[in-house]
Amino acid sequence: MIAENKIAEALDVLNEAARDKKRALQKIISEKYSDLRDSLEDEGSKVASAIGQAKETAGKIISQADEKIKNNPWPYLAGIAVGFLVLGLLFGARRSE
């Protein structure tokens, strides 16, 4: 009987120690998780801001290019024609060899 009581008492002490360690680990993990979550939220807002600026800049560039092409389209059409001519010559030369 004495041995059974000592074993039960030892098990109770071990269970209590395990509960304490579990609580300590949960606290550490929750603190680290909250730090990580805060960092990710900060980075997410930075990314969203960068995307907004990129969209704004792209819109300005596209509207400027559109205006230039509308005012004088011939140089752009000539550049496209030359580009396709070069591609045609390159691909045509490969077939004839």
Let me know if residue 93 belongs to a domain.
no
Print the domain residue range for 26: 2-71
Q: What does pTM read for this prediction?
A: 0.46
Q: Give the pair of three-digit tokens for residue 20.
A: 């304490």
Tell me the torsion sign for CA atoms 3, 8, 13, 14. Answer: positive
The per-residue pLDDT for range 50-97, each reduced to its tens digit, is: 999 999 999 999 999 999 999 999 999 999 999 999 999 998 876 655
Let me know if residue 51 belongs to a domain.
yes
Mean pLDDT of the chain: 86
Out of 19-23, 27-31, 65-69, the most confident range is 65-69
Tell me which residue has tokens 């024609």. 81
- For the chain, what is the HEC assignment? CHHHHHHHHHHHHHHHHHHHHHHHHHHHHHHHHHHHHHHHHHHHHHHHHHHHHHHHHHHHHHHHHHHHHHHCCHHHHHHHHHHHHHHHHHHHHHHHC
Q: How many domains does the chain have?
A: 1
